[in-house]
Amino acid sequence: MRMQAKVGVAAIAVAAISLTACGSKGSSSGGKASGNTKSQASSNLNQMNPVGYDQVPQGGTLRWPIDSFPPNFNVLDVDGNEQGINDLMNSTLPTVWNFDAGGKPVLNTVVVDKAEQTSATPQTIEYHINPKAVWSDGSPITYKDFAGMWKADNGTNKAFNIASANGYEEISAVDKGATDQDVKVTYKKAYPDWQSLFTYLLPASLTATPTSFNKSWVNGPTLAGGPFKVGSIDKTAKTITVVPNDKWWGNKPKLDKIQYIVLDQEAQAKALQSDQVDFVDVGSSVATYALVKATPGITIRKAGGPNWRHIDLGKAGPLADLKVRQAVVLSIDRVGDAKTLLGPLDWPAQVLDSHIWMNNQSQYKSTCGDFCTRDIAKAGQLLESAGYTKGSDGMYAKGGKPLNLSFVISAGTKTQEDEAAFQQKALQQAGIKVTIKPVPSDPYFPDYIEVGKFDLAIFSWIGTQFPISSSKSIYTTDGGQNYAKIGTPAIDALFNQVTTELDTQKAQDLSYQIDQKIWEEGHSVAIYQRPELVGIKAGLENMGARGFANVIYENIGFKK
């Protein structure tokens, strides 16, 4: 549905955040998130239509729309770090931690029956893998799979094309314990978010070398260790079908198969209306929301999760100048954007004043200071101090060259088109020309965003249950998800400090300091917490708006 979103590498790995364009068995709350009111959804409620495993009927095919065909099925690879790929691959991977609606980690004892800190100095975590746990070829899941993930993802070997080293870079060793199923993970220094690592496992064969990591799953995964495995891949029809994994030792999946279908946002909504898919993530699409509400047999489930909409700034050309970036930040109309996009969705049109915490979290605090409020006059002063002059046409130029920024969007993504056009007018009011540049949807992230080929770009971060540590790769200077490489030594130092701080209140206070500096540096502009609105067949059970929870794939089914 190309709503453009990246998974903050913490989405699947929970150590990072994912992008997108546009839990335990008790992980789904039965509470109502927000009904049809405009109240903010609670951060510890979701709407998943929870039903006990034994009460879910057997059989059926779930048709699950995703927004692009995977360029890589390795979710730790930067090219595999998209929400749709995470949704696909999470059905096939062994999950160590599930998360409830409030984001609380719950050990999945089907895969790992022990995970505990056994020493504080040095911090040591010991895991015991369920002896029944095997990969789809029958080989056991062992400490080697933990060790391989750490070695590939810790950032020391730059040949591994990782999305983020968050957390894994803090580990000093991963060793075998008493048996191959015993794992001992030792940290260099305290790492409070250790449960954000190894949330799922990848096979050692994938992580063995940079070549295997970067290339061996480009055309599809070779192994599975979750309730499903990939059964077929059709690049022409753009579908990937997963079927029950016959080597899975846990509860048998209720579904016969899940078919992931690549469709853009507009096509997804129409496909739901014509009964070609079983749900659609509305996100902040007004057109999709209206269409879904009018479709018989479809209900809208709501939650407020860790996902947010933002505009990234580049660092090339005029934007290499901090004053120009700050002027752009002050010229962007966040309030108007939120009202335009969220108002028609029965969702509060509330701007997000943080790059780390969501509006509905108790830790949320406005940190944008002088950049909270749109100020065209101040933006003009900054541009003039940077050597720009306003011409008779009201537009700024320097040395005879107009200030013209390229706003790169994914072609055919209605939400991006609407928001880019809205901000184009807002920036024009401030004397800044913006040229909207639509590019093909499939290479949008790998060929433009991830390599920093933009002045402005808008997409969503699909966040994690560990917002501080998972943000590190986005905002530190050399972070794998800091695509424009905007940062400062001060921000880097503060992140190194906060990710080792065991005192919760001190960590929160440090996060506020970091966030203020992110605003001041003109890294990106947070706009709003992205509503999780899912138009879904009323009879689909254990699926919907998950909030801070994860999906338990073997529990999904259709009411008969």
Are 125 and 248 within one domain? no
Residue 89 lies in a domain: yes
Report the first-to-last Cα separation within the chain, whole angstroms: 28
Are 446 and 327 within one domain? yes
Question: Cα separation of 250 and 262, whole Å?
Answer: 29
Residue 221 lies in a domain: no
CA angle 319, 307, 225 (to 5 degrees): 115
Q: What is the CATH number of the domain that holds 18?
A: 3.40.190.10
DSSP 144-168: HHHHHHHHHHSSSSTTS-BS--TTG
* Domain membership of residue 429 as a residue range: 309-529
pLDDT tens, residue order, the chain (560 aa): 333 455 443 333 344 455 565 522 222 233 333 333 455 677 678 999 999 999 999 999 999 999 889 999 999 999 998 889 999 999 999 999 999 888 889 999 999 999 999 999 999 999 999 999 999 999 999 999 999 999 999 999 999 999 889 899 999 999 999 999 999 999 999 999 999 999 999 999 999 999 999 999 999 999 999 999 999 999 999 999 999 999 999 999 999 999 999 998 789 999 999 999 999 999 778 889 999 999 999 999 999 888 899 999 999 999 999 999 999 999 999 999 999 999 899 889 999 999 999 998 889 999 999 999 999 999 999 999 999 999 999 999 999 999 999 999 999 888 899 999 999 999 999 999 999 999 998 889 889 999 999 999 999 898 888 999 999 999 999 998 999 999 999 999 999 999 999 899 999 999 999 999 999 999 999 999 988 999 999 999 999 999 989 999 999 999 98
Residue 464 lies in a domain: yes
The amino acid occupying position 178 is: A
Q: What is the CATH number of the domain that holds 363?
A: 3.10.105.10
Phi-psi region of 195 (alpha: psi -120 to 50; beta: other; left: phi over 0): alpha
Q: What is the pTM of this model?
A: 0.80
3-state SS track over 75-106: CCEHHHCEHHHHHHHCCCCCECEEECCCCCEE
Are 411 and 503 within one domain? yes
Residue 224 lies in a domain: no
